[in-house]
Chains A and B, each alone.
Chain A
């Protein structure tokens, strides 16, 4: 790979212009990722497909996103959206790297080889949302007991032990 640290990063005037600096750097180094990039609510979002997530994460790490924040998942019914939060000290901004996995096949490649900090985060997503991370070194439940049945943060989770709140307010 080329030496990306040689790319000059201009000093931004404010938080909004650091996002534009990031857009320019991303588009000049990786033109294929440029149409997937957007700025929403004063924050940068990169929406990629499931197959290209690991490669994109590796590219972003090399570009300057050296810190992994967290990974979380959202249940949208037909599919789950995975949100990887990355942070860059070089650009001074964070980025949400998003992808979607289908509900009938909830699996994705792990990123623990890039950021070992993601190990427990991926275990948590597996525990509560039931998304399998292929290649994870130790994929088992982290918050719930090992003999738990189901994944409680899914919208269709059912547990006979849960008492629904009555409608008195």
Chain B
């Protein structure tokens, strides 16, 4: 990344360089987020949902994401399942074999925090972020495949808003939808529908 940093700094000093940089930067980030090949790091039961994601019912491939069982081919490592203390060195080693830029999605409560194994367990690591830089957290035990797909879409937005030049990131965050932006499915119209629909005691159930 040092080469990229030096390149951007040098380009900015040239006349008209910052215009080129901004558009190149936006293009590079847009391209980088479109096809996130995933490393399916399925260590426990969340892997079932991860596998379901790749098949035709949920069809991960339409988002440009599909599993590659080789760390050198992938952009994002999807950690699905409990990470034990014996598995931790293997996970870290596979992460280190991935080429930059690389991202980590923590899927499921065990990977987020240790989950139900937080207390009284001698063998479970309490969260992947104790040893890896996690970009997106997905809660659930296990999360639905839709939640994982939503997590990957949020990671894509994170990549779009994060600039190569870190000082410029805030401009992109103001103009582009980021991971914190409300989703299209949770507009006011949708919320109004939820509020007006009958609750558990209603006729429709």
Binding site for B on A (CB under 8 A): 143-145, 152, 157, 159, 161-166
Contacts and interface: CB of A to CB of B under 8 A. Distances in A.
B120 interface: yes
Contact of B119 (A144, A152, A165): A165
B96 to A, nearest CB: 19
A143 B122 contact: no
B121 interface: yes
B118 interface: yes
B118 A163 contact: yes
13 contacts: A144-B85, A144-B86, A144-B123, A152-B123, A159-B122, A162-B121, A162-B122, A163-B118, A163-B120, A164-B119, A164-B120, A165-B119, A166-B119
Contacts of A144: 85-86, 123
A interface SS class: loop
B86 A143 contact: yes
Contacts of A152: 122-123
Interface in B58-114: 85-86
Contacts of A143: 86
B120 A165 contact: yes
Contacts of A166: 119
B122 A161 contact: yes
Contacts of B118: 163
Contacts of A161: 122
Contacts of A165: 119-120
Nearest to A162: B122
A60 B145 CA distance: 51
A157 B121 CA distance: 12
Given A145-B86, A152-B123, 9 more contacts: A144-B123, A145-B85, A152-B122, A157-B122, A162-B121, A163-B118, A163-B119, A165-B119, A166-B119
A161 B118 CA distance: 11
Nearest to A152: B122
B116 to A, nearest CB: 10
Nearest to A143: B86
B86 A162 contact: no
B16 to A, nearest CB: 57
Contacts of A145: 85-86
B93 to A, nearest CB: 14
